[in-house]
Chains A and B, each alone.
Chain A
Amino acid sequence: MLALPLAALIAKSSSVGWAEFWRIATDPVALSAYEVTFVTALLAALVNGMMGTLTAWVLVRYAFPGRKLLEGLIDLPFALPTAVAGLTLATVYSSNGWIGSLLAPFGIRISFTRLGVGVAMLFISFPFVVRTVQPVLQELEQEVEEAAWSLGASRWQTFWRVVLPQILPAVLTGVALGFSRAVGEYGSIVIIASSIPFRDLIAAVLVIQRLEQYDYAGATVIGTAMLGISFLSLVVINLLQAWGSRHET
Chain B
Amino acid sequence: MKPDGISGVKPEPSTNPWLSGLLIGIVGLYIALLLGIPVVNIFYQAFREGIPAFLQHLTERELLSALRLTVLTALVVVPLNTLFGLCAALALAHRRFPGRALLLSLIDLPFSISPVVAGLMLVLLFGRQGWLGSLLQAWKLRVVFAFPGIVLATAFITLPFVAREVLPVLEEAGTEEEEAAKTLGANSWQIFWRITLPNIRWGLLYGVILTNARAMGEFGAVAVVSGNIIGRTQTLPLFVEDAYRSYATGSAYAAAVVLSLLAVVTLVAKELLERGSPSRRIF
- A-side residues, CB < 8 A to B, are 1-6, 8-9, 11-12, 51, 54-55, 57-58, 60-64, 66-67, 70, 72-92, 97-99, 119, 122-123, 126-127, 131, 134-135, 138-139, 142, 146, 149, 155, 180, 183-187, 190-191, 203-204, 207-208, 211, 216, 219-220, 223, 226-227, 230-231, 233-234, 238
Contact = CB atoms under 8 A, between A and B. Distances in A.
B238 A184 contact: no
A97 B117 CA distance: 33
Given A54-B23, A62-B24, A83-B237, A5 B8 contact: no
A79 B129 CA distance: 36
B191 interface: no
A82 B217 contact: yes
A61 B33 contact: no
B28 A66 contact: yes
Interface stretch (B54-62, B169-177, B260-268): B260-268
A3 B110 CA distance: 11
Contacts of B220: 82, 184-187, 204
Contacts of B150: none
Contacts of B137: none
B237 A63 contact: no
B169 to A, nearest CB: 16
B219 A186 contact: yes
Given A81-B263, A83-B219, A220 B124 contact: yes
Contacts of B114: 183-186, 203-204, 223, 226, 230
B267 A88 contact: no
Given A60-B10, A83-B238, A75 B267 contact: yes
Contacts of B34: 119, 122-123, 126
Contacts of B252: 87
Given A1-B156, A89-B38, A223 B117 contact: yes
A100 B42 CA distance: 16
Contacts of A142: 10, 13
B35 A84 contact: no
B219 A227 contact: no
A119 B8 CA distance: 31
B113 A230 contact: yes
A5 B125 contact: yes
Contacts of B1: 138-139
Given A60-B10, A88-B42, A186-B114, A211 B224 contact: yes
A78 to B, nearest CB: 6
Contact of B9 (A63, A72, A89, A146): A63
B163 to A, nearest CB: 12
Given A88-B39, A119-B34, A186-B220, 10 more contacts: A5-B122, A51-B30, A54-B26, A58-B23, A79-B270, A83-B219, A146-B13, A211-B120, A223-B114, A223-B121
B105 interface: yes
| A55, A190, A204 pick with most chain B CB within 10 angstroms | A204
Contacts of A8: 121, 124-125, 130-131
B242 to A, nearest CB: 10
Nearest to A13: B124
Given A55-B30, A230-B112, A207 B120 contact: yes
A125 B213 CA distance: 17
Given A63-B9, A75-B267, A76-B267, A234 B112 contact: yes
A78 B252 CA distance: 20
A241 to B, nearest CB: 12
Nearest to B118: A5
Contacts of B39: 73, 76, 80, 88
B18 to A, nearest CB: 12
